[in-house]
Amino acid sequence: MMNMNILWVAGATILSQSMHKSCAALSLPGNAIGKQLTRSRFFYSSASAALLVTSGMASPDTACAADKKNNPRYLENEVQMKYGEGKDGNPRTRGVLVRRFTGDSTPYTFSQPRPVRLVKDWPDEPPFSKKDFFRADENDDETFYTLPRLVYHIDEPAVATLTQYYRNNIPKGSSILDICSSWVSHYPLEFKQVMKRISATGMNPLELMANDQLTDYEARNLNVNPNLPYEDNTFDVVTCVVSIDYLIHPIEVLKEVRRVLKPGGKVIISQSNRCFPSKAIAMWLDMNDRQHLELINGYLKYAGFGPAKAYDIQAYDPDNKFNDPMFIVEVAK
């Protein structure tokens, strides 16, 4: 089924064309499922002034495992952005083609999540110093993230395997919060239809506006204000995708995550080896992938959670043996 939507939002014209069907795919534990994705070209643009962007993708149908292979591999939107208000020919519009990975209909193989044993014995009190959280770029994060980045920070196989993990490990009817979110949350297409609520916080309100999977969002700089704007015991699942390395108050943020989780709810933190080095904290840059998992487990301990579990869920790409890794650290409240 093909849908075309035209939206007008704050003076920005958004033309979207998308094809939809819903589906299922990777479990914990699970069987080798599906096939993986390859790295693809992603077209984007950075305007030199404020951009007004939103997404006009249509909603997917209800989920069913049999339909997974019928989902499109990509959803593409043509976005026209208005910027500038001068009398000398402005405002101007500029078209941008954005491509979203759905995580389905790919050539990759998703294997059973491989447990990673966490062995570091953390002391009773956090052993971290201020210099551990130093960043090469200590300027205002809101300046760094002023312009929307409608791009992916991990490759397509990593996105796809995370999407499959979510599909098989987040129950239908859940209330979900995605912290440090952006224009994509990597959830399966059907989540907007089958979940009770999908909320998000992130740095850039325009990126959040473009995230068509959300039911609500609030822009928030967690490095300035680590408090989450939600009531206690609100969410069944909290996700955080390749972003915990940017937090300078990670324990405080995870304490808030624990507060807003319902009893028995879980936090799923995904991590690769990609980052903006100037914004990642110093001790993260000095660690390898295994040490990153141990560090996240330490953060969770000091935030009041019990022992976490870690998994390697890297997808297999037959055409590329050097695709991005993907790891999961999760724990229940």
Please report the DSSP string for 251-313 in residue order.
HHHHHHHHHHEEEEEEEEEEE-S---TTTS-HHHHT--HHHHHHHHHHHHHHTT----EEEE-
Q: How far apart are CA 24 and CA 98, in angstroms?
A: 24
137-165 b/e (C-beta count within 10 Å ≥ 16 → b): eeeebeebbebbbbebbbbbbbbbbbbbb
Q: Are 244 and 271 in contact (CB under 8 A)?
A: yes
**In which band, very low, low, confident or very high, does the pLDDT at 84 lie, cut at 50, 70 and 90?**
low
DSSP state of 111: P
Quote the mean pLDDT of the chain.
80
Residue 26 has pLDDT above 60, yes or no: no
Pick from 51-65, 66-80, 279-293: least confident: 51-65
261-271/235-241 β-pairing: parallel
Q: Which two tokens stand for residue 126?
A: 């956090």
Look at residue 58 in the predicted model and tell me its pLDDT.
30
**In which band, very low, low, confident or very high, does the pLDDT at 135 lie, cut at 50, 70 and 90?**
very high
Q: What average pLDDT does this structure show over 209-230?
A: 95
- Write out pLDDT tens, residues 278-304: 899 999 999 999 999 999 999 999 999
- Helix, strand, coil % (nearest 5) of the chain? 20, 25, 55
Q: How far apart are CA 80 and CA 10, in angstroms?
A: 12
Q: pTM of the entire structure?
A: 0.77
Percent of the chain with pLDDT over 70: 74
Between vectors from CA 158 to CA 155 and to CA 164, what angle results, nearest 5°?
140
Measuring CA to CA, how many Å separate 192 from each of 53, 186, 248, 323? 20, 12, 31, 28
Number of H helices, E strands in the chain: 7, 12
Q: What average pLDDT does this structure show over 305-329?
A: 94
Look at residue 83 in the predicted model and tell me its pLDDT.
56
